[in-house]
């Protein structure tokens, strides 16, 4: 295996003092140079280091050491631990920002404030890896370099990933109350604008005049035929 044991020099000291393994075998197991192992055996190297027992720490077994002592060409194999410890939970703290990119954080904060006003202060602090005082200074335009700041996408600057930005934006959108937007006057539906214009149906005289409407028979009885012809003759004489 390519993995070196814990405390390789101390382990090499113990193997030199307590086993008959060759220098090459010890050097290969501890990831040291054979001359360095020879120096340990001669007392020239690691003279003040106390030997570390790899058997007690579970890195080697007695059977593995005995088999390697019988066969000088055999290489020691690091024992695999049978106990698997759970991985420690990762605590989400302030994001570490490399020194070369820290000068870009104010520009990223200004970009987030302008383009995503729905984000909370804690979300912006996580994305840009900044402090609350710096964020408040940029919001209130009291930052010492406020006049020279230029909004820049934090993803492009490498301060956060696009997945982190989308996650925080979607999370902020869910927390916002839903407000229906008013678009003003809208167009009438097609069935209203395409239907035929309204035409009033013809009504009878009785519906128009009511009870005072004259009957057709009465109108004809009141007409004087002789007076009508007399007026026509008078018109002819004048002409």
**Model confidence over 39-68: pLDDT tens digits?**
988 888 877 788 889 988 888 889 999 999
Query: What is the mean predicted confidence (pLDDT) over 74-90?
Result: 71
**Model confidence over 95-147: pLDDT tens digits?**
565 666 678 889 999 999 999 999 999 999 988 888 899 999 999 999 888 88
pLDDT score recorded for residue 83: 61
For the cut 80, the answer to whether the pLDDT of residue 23 exceeds it is: yes
The two structure tokens encoding residue 18: 């307590």
Least confident of 41-50, 103-112, 151-160, 219-228: 219-228
Task: Give the length of the chain.
Answer: 239
Q: Is there a contact between 74 and 68 (Cβ–Cβ < 8 Å)? A: yes
CA-closest candidate to residue 79, choices 63, 94, 96, 98: 63
The verdict on pTM exceeding 0.85 is no
pLDDT score recorded for residue 98: 64
CA–CA dist 157, 111 (Å, integer) = 11
Residue 211 CA neighbour count, 13 Å, CB half: 0
Q: Is there a contact between 59 and 77 (Cβ–Cβ < 8 Å)? A: no
CA–CA dist 98, 111 (Å, integer) = 19
pLDDT score recorded for residue 1: 46
Q: What angle do CA 96, 99, 105 make, to 5 degrees?
A: 70
CA-closest candidate to residue 76, choices 89, 84, 66: 66
CA–CA dist 150, 107 (Å, integer) = 5
């Amino acid at each position: 295996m390519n993995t070196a044991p814990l405390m390789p020099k101390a382990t090499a000291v113990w193997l030199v003092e307590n086993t008959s393994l060759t220098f090459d075998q010890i050097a290969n197991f501890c990831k040291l140079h054979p001359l360095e192992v020879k120096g340990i055996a001669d007392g020239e190297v690691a003279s003040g280091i106390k030997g570390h027992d790899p058997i007690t720490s579970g890195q080697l077994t007695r059977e593995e050491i005995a088999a390697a002592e019988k066969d000088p060409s055999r290489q020691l194999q690091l024992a695999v631990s049978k106990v698997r410890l759970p991985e420690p939970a990762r605590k989400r703290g302030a994001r570490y920002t490399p020194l070369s990119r820290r000068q870009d954080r104010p520009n990223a904060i200004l970009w987030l404030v302008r383009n995503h006003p729905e984000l909370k202060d804690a979300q912006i602090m996580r994305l840009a890896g900044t402090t609350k005082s710096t964020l408040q200074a940029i919001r209130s335009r009291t930052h010492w370099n406020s006049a020279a700041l230029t909004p820049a996408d934090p993803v492009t600057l490498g301060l956060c990933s696009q997945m982190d930005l989308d996650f925080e934006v979607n999370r902020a959108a869910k927390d916002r109350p839903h407000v229906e937007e008013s678009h003003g006057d809208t167009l009438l539906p097609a069935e209203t604008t395409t239907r035929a214009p309204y035409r009033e149906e013809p009504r009878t005289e009785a519906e128009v005049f009511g009870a005072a409407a004259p009957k057709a028979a009465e109108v004809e009885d009141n007409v004087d035929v002789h007076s009508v012809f007399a007026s026509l003759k008078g018109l002819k004489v004048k002409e």
